[in-house]
């Protein structure tokens, strides 16, 4: 994997296998099934340093912790559909996160850190709120791809 260096500009890393398999075909892009916290194979892929890397995880404390871990290897990585607006727009699809993480995450951007704090300190509801990425509608995914300059083919 580290030696591949595919001819693409955009790299999407998705935490969930369903989202990996259903991800829209995007021009000049590849999708990688990240499968959570294990980034050993990705860390050796130096070619990712020159790509636009976007991570799509669940909107919960662990999703942000995984993003933070990814940025240890790829500081330029951006979050994808892990924003407050997406979370609020999908309120009816929230579930409870069973074992949240509460540690500080130094590599989150300001808006990500603010949402992470809302999640970890239960400021959005009575329980530990989470939105699993596979619950986000396909149209919303297409809109987010267009917003980051990607062409769905």
pLDDT at 130: 97
**pTM (predicted TM-score):** 0.94
List residues bridging with 88 in a β-sheet: none
- Give me the mean pLDDT over the 126-130 stretch: 91
- Give me the mean pLDDT over the 144-148 stretch: 96
Q: Kindly write down the DSSP assignment for every residue of 103-121, as one continuous string.
A: S--TT--HHHHHHHHHHHT
Cα separation values, 103 from 22, 39, 72, 120, Å: 32, 19, 16, 9
- Give me the mean pLDDT over the 95-103 stretch: 96
Per-residue pLDDT reduced to its tens digit, 4-49: 889 999 999 999 899 999 999 999 999 999 866 667 778 899 999 9
pLDDT at 28: 97
Q: How far apart are CA 22 and CA 81, in angstroms?
A: 15
For the ranges 49-58, 103-112, 120-129, the lowest mean pLDDT is seen at 120-129
- Give me the mean pLDDT over the 109-115 stretch: 98
Long-range (24+ apart) CB contacts under 8 A made by 121-127 are 124/87, 125/94, 127/96
Nearest CA among 96, 106, 100 for reference residue 120: 100
Per-residue pLDDT reduced to its tens digit, 81-97: 999 999 999 999 999 99
pLDDT at 2: 86
Residue 77 in this model has a pLDDT that exceeds 70: yes
pLDDT at 35: 67
């Amino acid at each position: 994997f580290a030696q591949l260096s595919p001819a693409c500009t955009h790299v999407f890393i998705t935490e969930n296998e369903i989202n990996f398999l259903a991800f829209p075909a995007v021009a000049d892009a590849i999708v990688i099934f990240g499968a959570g916290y294990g980034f050993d194979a990705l860390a050796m892929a130096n070619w990712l340093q020159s790509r636009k890397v976007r991570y799509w995880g669940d909107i919960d404390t662990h999703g942000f912790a995984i993003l933070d871990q990814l940025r240890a290897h790829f500081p330029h990585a951006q979050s994808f559909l892990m924003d407050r607006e997406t979370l609020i727009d999908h309120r009816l699809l929230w579930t409870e996160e069973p074992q949240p993480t509460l540690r500080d995450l130094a590599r989150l951007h300001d808006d990500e850190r603010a949402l992470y704090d809302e999640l970890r300190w239960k400021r959005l509801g009575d329980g530990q709120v989470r939105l699993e990425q596979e619950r986000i509608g396909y149209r919303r995914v297409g809109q987010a791809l267009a917003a980051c300059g990607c062409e769905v083919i």
